[in-house]
Amino acid sequence: MNTDNVSNYVKYRSCSFDMSRALTKRYSTSFYSASNLFSEDIRPAIHSIYGFVRIADEIVDSFHEHKQAELLDLFERSYYLAYEYGISPNPILHSFQLTVKQYGIPDEYIQAFLSSMRADLEKKEYLTAEETAKYIYGSADVVGLMCLKVFCKGDEHLFAELEGPAMRLGSAFQKVNFLRDLKEDCFVLGRNYFPHLSAETFDETMKGELVREIEADFDEAYRGIQKLPKGARLAVHTAYKYYRELLAKIKRTSADKLLKTRIRVPDFQKAMLLLSALVKNKMHIL
C-alpha cells in the first residue's frame, strides 16, 4: 500500500468515527452530552457502539414502510463482511468492527443484541419474566457489556468484577425506557414487554412493583459505577443520575397518566444533574 493509500485509509477511518459521533449527537442529545464526559481515548469507541445499535433499532422501530426483516438481515450480513474484510463502505459498520476488534467484544453479545432486535419484529407480547429477561439481556445488558469492554481496556479481572453491576445498570435503563414509553409501545407499536401488563391491568400496584424492581437494579449498579476506571466513571454516573431522575418522575406520575404521556427530564434539570455529577467527581465522593 503506497503512502497516498495509507493516508486515504486513515482519513476514511477518522471519518467513520466522525459519522458515528454525528449520528449519536443527532439521535440522542442526552447520551451525546454524557458521552463527551468520557476520556478522549475511549469516546470514539462508545460512539461507534451507539451508532451500530441505533441503526438496528431504527430498522425495527421506524422503517415500517419497508421490508424490515430483510433490512435487518442485510445489516447483519454487512457487519460480518466488514469484520471479515476489515473495512466497510458503511462508515458506521466500519468504525464498529474496528472497535469490536480493538477491545475484544465477544460475538455472542452482538448475536444476542440482534436476536432481541428481531424479536421486536416478530414478538409483541412477553408472557413470562424469563422472556422479558432474555429480551432485556439482548437489547440492553449486552450493550452495557460492550461498553464495559471498552472501559476496562483488556483488564479481564476488572471486567469480571464489574460485569454483574453493568448488566443491572443496562436492565435498569431499559426498564425505565419501557415505563417512559408505555404510550408508544402499547398504542402505536403494539408491544408489551412486562408480563401481564396492558392498558387495562396497569395500575398503581403494578407500577409500584416495577419501580421497586428498578430501584434494586440501580442500587446494585451504583456499586459498580464507583469502581469504574476514571475515564468512564463520570459519564456513566451522569447517565445513571439522569435515569434515576426519570424513574423518580415516573414514581410521582399516576399509572393512568403514564399510559397517556411520555415522561421527560427538562433541559435545565439535565444541566443540574450534570453539574452535580461533576462536583461529586471533583470531590471524589461518587
Residues 114 and 130 placed together within one structural domain of the fold: no
Q: Is residue 114's pLDDT more than 60?
A: yes
Residues above pLDDT 90, as percent of the chain: 64
Q: Which of 122, 146, 166 is the last residue of a domain?
A: 122
What pLDDT is attached to residue 246? 92
C-alpha 180/C-alpha 115 separation (Å) is 23
Q: Is residue 113's pLDDT more than 80?
A: yes
Q: Is residue 9's pLDDT more than 90?
A: no
Q: Is residue 65's pLDDT more than 80?
A: yes
Residues 12 and 69 placed together within one structural domain of the fold: yes
Residues 154 and 244 placed together within one structural domain of the fold: yes
CATH of the domain at 85: 1.10.600.10
Residues 206 and 104 placed together within one structural domain of the fold: no
What pLDDT is attached to residue 266? 63
Residues 10 and 115 placed together within one structural domain of the fold: yes
Tell me the pTM.
0.88
What pLDDT is attached to residue 119? 92
pLDDT band at 125 (very low <50, low <70, confident <90, very high): confident
Q: Which of 74, 99, 122 is the last residue of a domain?
A: 122
**Averaged pLDDT of the chain:** 89
pLDDT band at 128 (very low <50, low <70, confident <90, very high): confident
C-alpha 87/C-alpha 188 separation (Å) is 38
18-23 mean pLDDT? 96
- Listed range (11-25, 117-131, 201-215) with the worst mean pLDDT: 117-131
Residues 110 and 227 placed together within one structural domain of the fold: no
Q: Which of 122, 149, 165 is the last residue of a domain?
A: 122
What pLDDT is attached to residue 82? 97
Condensed to tens digits (0 to 9), the pLDDT of residues 208-239 reads 999 999 999 999 999 999 999 999 999 999 88
Residues 142 and 276 placed together within one structural domain of the fold: yes
Q: Which residue range forms the structural domain that includes residue 99?
A: 1-122
Residues 228 and 263 placed together within one structural domain of the fold: yes
Of residues 97 and 125, more confidently modeled: 97
Condensed to tens digits (0 to 9), the pLDDT of residues 139-179 reads 999 999 999 999 999 999 999 999 999 999 999 999 998 88
**Cα–chain-centroid distance for residue 157?**
23
What pLDDT is attached to residue 282? 54
C-alpha 112/C-alpha 109 separation (Å) is 5
Condensed to tens digits (0 to 9), the pLDDT of residues 26-61 reads 988 778 888 889 999 999 999 999 999 999 999 998
Residues 63 and 154 placed together within one structural domain of the fold: no
**Cα–chain-centroid distance for residue 34?**
12
Residues 208 and 257 placed together within one structural domain of the fold: yes
Residues 133 and 275 placed together within one structural domain of the fold: yes
Long-range contacts of 161-166 (CB under 8 A, 24+ apart): 161/224, 161/227, 162/224, 162/227, 162/228, 164/220, 164/224, 165/220, 165/221, 165/222, 165/223, 165/224, 165/225, 166/141, 166/221, 166/224
Residues 131 and 89 placed together within one structural domain of the fold: no
How many domains does the chain contain in total? 2
